[in-house]
């Protein structure tokens, strides 16, 4: 019996953070003028439920990269609010980005994080809460992030953005209310950067906004957090739109895996969701690599994602893998990026190490 491929074990750390630290991401924060004479700022509030002080690290990420700020200490059972944080802590006059908050692992469930971004106008303040996301909950290769645009494209404009925890590639699909895909665009993002696309359906995707548009952000590599914001054109009142992680039927035809290299598929993707219907066994016997074939109809390219050094394709669809004996008795997830006639999807193969 022969098999192998890339493993993305749950135990592999994807995040470039300090050992022993928990990381939270507020995916959007900003300061400065916006459309229709709006004026934006973000406030970050931290509450400590512990009986001792907590120190949190703050870093601002925009399209240019990371800017570290001074740590903030929250005393026992106390609250600290930082007004207009992008301006007051990071010295920006006009900027939009993500805020990274790091705390010791032991304190991760004792720090409550609240973020509010609001528009100040002559009519008062109109704002939205933007929740902090645990970095471990970011979407990864094979996930689809769903962003729902406004029900009325006339009454509201739609901004959306993405923070890349690691180097990542997304395929943006604009899905109309009737299910048709109006346009698609693939983009790559550098690790530790944030980009927001104001009125992105028009300015990024080159399409006209329609009522009940939906964006699908399909992650083909890396880890990301995506979000949206629907802003009423008359009042300037924003509504936060969370990115919802989902699975979608893939567009390439992933038949399955030929475990024995005998020309027959033994394990299938019968429901066409891009995930092998059952785990395949990979053996850890030293000196005897596993081999298997990934069968995708019409595949023009198959690539391992985040592959270990001892796993690689030896031809167009055959993988050789010689896993360490230390993995015996564990499970993993193997991911392959498949391209057929310019269409790319991520295939997921559960693995049992024997």
Higher pLDDT: 250 or 98? It is 98
Is the pLDDT reported for residue 192 higher than 60?
yes
Query: What pLDDT sits at residue 240?
Result: 95
Give 230's DSSP letter. E
Q: How far apart are CA 97 and CA 62, in angstroms?
A: 4
> What pLDDT, on the 0 to 100 scale, is given for residue 119?
85
The token pair that represents 178 in the structure block: 């009737």
pLDDT level of residue 336 (50, 70, 90 thresholds): very high
Residue 156: band (very low, low, confident or very high) from pLDDT cuts 50, 70, 90: very high
Instruction: Parse the chain into domains and list their residue ranges.
Output: 21-134, 138-246, 254-353
Residue entry with tokens 């167009």: 316
Mean pLDDT of 235-257: 90
Per-residue pLDDT reduced to its tens digit, 300-335: 999 998 777 788 899 999 999 888 888 999 998 888
Does pLDDT of 200 surpass 70?
yes
pLDDT at 57 (0 to 100): 97
Question: Does 21-134 match 138-246 in CATH topology?
Answer: yes
The pLDDT-based confidence of 286 (bands split at 50, 70, 90) is confident
Contact indicator for 59, 99 with CB cutoff of 8 Å = yes
What distance, in Å, lies between the first and last C-alpha atoms of the chain? 12
134-152 pLDDT, tens digit per residue, is: 999 999 988 999 999 999 9
Spatial strand order in the sheet of 144-148? 181-189, 168-175, 214-221, 144-148, 244-246
138-246: which CATH topology? Answer: Hypothetical Protein Tm1070; Chain: A (2.60.290)
> In this structure, what token pair is assigned to residue 175?
């899905």
Residues 6+ apart with CB under 8 A from 71: 55, 56, 57, 58
What's the rounded Cα separation, in Å, for the pair 314 and 94? 50
72: pLDDT strictly greater than 90: yes
Taking alpha carbons only, the member of 98, 99, 100, 52 closest to residue 73 is: 52
Q: Does position 9 have pLDDT exceeding 70, yes or no? A: no
Query: Which has more confidence, 40 or 193?
Result: 193
Q: Is the pLDDT of residue 71 over 60?
A: yes
Weakest mean pLDDT among 62-76, 112-126, 133-147, 278-292: 112-126
Q: Cα(16)–Cα(20) distance, rounded to whole angstroms? A: 12
pTM, entire model: 0.79
Q: Taking a C-beta distance cutoff of 8 angstroms, is the pair 201, 210 a contact?
A: no
CA distance 163 to 176: 25
Instruction: List the one residue out of 294, 282, 285 whose CA is nearest residue 353.
Output: 282
> How confident is the model over 234-255, as a mean pLDDT?
89
Which residue intervals of 204-243 are DSSP H helices?
Answer: none
Mean pLDDT of 118-140: 88
Share of residues in the chain with pLDDT > 90 (%): 73
Class of domain 21-134: mainly beta
Q: So what CATH class is 254-353?
A: mainly beta
Q: What is the pLDDT of residue 266?
A: 95
pLDDT band with cut points at 50, 70 and 90 for residue 12: very low
Q: Is the dihedral of CA 112, 102, 39, 230 positive or negative?
A: negative
* Contact present, 17 and 85 (Cβ < 8 Å): no
| Mean pLDDT score across all residues of the chain | 90
pLDDT at 101 over 50: yes
Task: For residue range 20-57, list pLDDT tens digits in order.
Answer: 789 999 999 999 987 777 789 999 999 999 999 999 99
């Amino acid at each position: 019996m022969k098999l192998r491929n890339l493993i993305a074990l749950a135990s592999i750390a994807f995040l470039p953070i300090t050992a022993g630290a928990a990381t939270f991401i507020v995916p959007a924060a900003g300061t400065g003028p916006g459309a229709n004479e709006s004026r934006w700022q973000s406030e970050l509030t931290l509450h400590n439920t512990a009986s001792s002080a907590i120190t949190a690290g703050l870093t601002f990420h925009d399209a240019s990269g990371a800017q570290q700020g001074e740590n903030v200490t929250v005393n026992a059972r106390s609250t600290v609010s930082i007004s207009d944080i992008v301006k007051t802590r990071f010295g920006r006059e006009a900027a939009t980005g993500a805020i990274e908050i790091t705390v010791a692992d032991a304190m991760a469930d004792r720090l409550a994080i609240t973020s509010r971004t609001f528009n100040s106008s002559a009519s008062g303040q109109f704002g939205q809460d933007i929740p902090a996301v645990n970095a471990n909950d970011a979407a990864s290769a094979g996930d689809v992030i769903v962003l729902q645009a406004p029900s009325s494209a006339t009454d509201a404009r739609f901004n959306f953005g993405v923070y890349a925890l690691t180097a990542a590639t997304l395929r943006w699909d604009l899905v109309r209310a009737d299910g048709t895909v109006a346009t698609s665009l693939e983009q790559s993002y550098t690790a530790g950067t944030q980009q927001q696309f104001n009125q992105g359906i028009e300015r990024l995707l080159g399409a006209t906004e329609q009522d009940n548009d939906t964006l699908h952000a399909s992650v083909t590599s890396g880890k990301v957090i995506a979000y949206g914001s629907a802003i009423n054109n008359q009042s300037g009142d924003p509504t936060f739109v969370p990115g919802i992680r989902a699975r979608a039927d893939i567009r390439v035809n992933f038949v399955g895996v030929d475990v024995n290299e005998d020309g027959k598929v033994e394990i299938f993707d019968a429901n066409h969701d891009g995930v092998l219907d059952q785990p395949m066994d990979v053996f850890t016997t030293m000196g005897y690599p596993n081999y298997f074939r990934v069968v995708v109809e019409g595949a023009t390219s198959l690539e391992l994602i985040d592959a270990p050094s001892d796993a690689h394709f030896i031809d167009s669809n055959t993988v050789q893998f010689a896993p360490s004996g230390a993995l015996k008795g564990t499970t993993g997830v193997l991911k392959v990026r498949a391209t057929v006639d310019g269409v790319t999807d991520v295939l997921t193969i559960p693995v049992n190490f024997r």
